[in-house]
Amino acid sequence: MKAAIAAGHAVTVPAAKTIADGIAVAPYRRSTPFRFAQKYVDEIVTVEEEEIANAILLLLEREKTLAEGAGAAAIAALLIKKVAIKEYPSAVLVCGGNIDVTLLRAHHRARAGERRPLAGCGLLYRTGRQPARASLAW
């Protein structure tokens, strides 16, 4: 999508194996997603495979949430500061658990010897009478 927005029209990019297969989509047959992105999306950033895998592991370790690569891509962008949360309230949707655990296991083994900084924070807020917990990780 980033290449299409830059070009001003739908483009075809080479297929690639990725941990974020949910956003590695085939070329659009219709222009609706492209027009929607042109109109409503302010910025598109890209993240590397390693950055996505780190975000998946952080979500798993700190939040006990298994997200697929596509679902963790936005968290990856925040972690490496490709996007900044400005003065406006912000939210990141994290979704999916459709992940090849062998890829995740191999990545985790590769990182086993390194020391990772503690990251993440929790936020408690109330909705009506019921307390609810929203967790953010960055």
**pLDDT the model gives residue 28:** 59
Q: pLDDT tens digits for 38-50?
A: 889 888 899 999 8
Q: pLDDT tens digits for 69-106?
A: 999 999 999 999 898 777 778 788 888 878 877 777 76
Interatomic CA distance for residues 110 and 101, integer angstroms: 14
Q: Give the residue-averaged pLDDT of 54-80.
A: 91
Q: In the structure encoding, which two tokens stand for residue 64, read together?
A: 């006990």
Q: In the structure encoding, which two tokens stand for residue 57, read together?
A: 């592991």
Percentage above 90 pLDDT, the chain = 16
Interatomic CA distance for residues 74 and 70, integer angstroms: 8
Give 31 or 118, the one with higher predicted confidence.
31
Does the pLDDT of residue 117 top 60, yes or no?
no
Interatomic CA distance for residues 58 and 105, integer angstroms: 14
Mean pLDDT (the chain, rounded): 75
Domain extent for 114: 2-136
Structural domain total, the chain: 1
Lowest mean pLDDT among 17-31, 54-68, 112-126: 112-126
pTM score over 0.85: no
DSSP 63-112: I-----HHHHHHHHHHHTTSS---SS------------HHHHHHHHHHHT
Q: Return the CATH number at 116.
A: 3.40.50.1100
**pLDDT the model gives residue 132:** 43
**pLDDT the model gives residue 31:** 72
